[in-house]
Amino acid sequence: MACNRTYGRLSTSYETKGKEMTQQELFKIWGVVHGPWDDGEHVWLTCKVEHEGKMVSQPQDIPYPDFNAAYKDLKHFDTSIEPIVKSVDLSWMYDA
């Protein structure tokens, strides 16, 4: 079961996988500040991002499934100034 809501440039969807609920947020990545690095659970890039149509004042750590996916986004900015639109699972932030 899925519920999708769109507010301007923000797209939030909650997906039910069994009893687990994940939250997806839509970000525009405008550049990479640092990374990638692996913390043992995720691969990360620290990125300049836009969220809800506004630039976020501090660079944000964006999780990736593996180094290949992170390097693909990192290399994108070698040849383009266009942002990458990425849906990010934020449920990891709420794991206690």
Q: What is the pTM of this model?
A: 0.69
Q: What confidence tens digit (pLDDT) does each residue in 6-49 have?
A: 323 333 333 434 444 457 888 999 999 999 999 988 899 999 99
Query: Cα 83 to the chain's mean position, in Å?
Result: 12
Task: List, in order, residues 6 or more apart from 36 with CB less than 8 Å away.
Answer: 43, 44, 45, 64, 67, 70, 71, 74
Strand locations in the chain (E): 2-7, 10-17, 20-38, 43-51, 54-55, 60-64, 84-89
Determine the Cα angle at 95 with ends 21 and 36, to 5°.
100
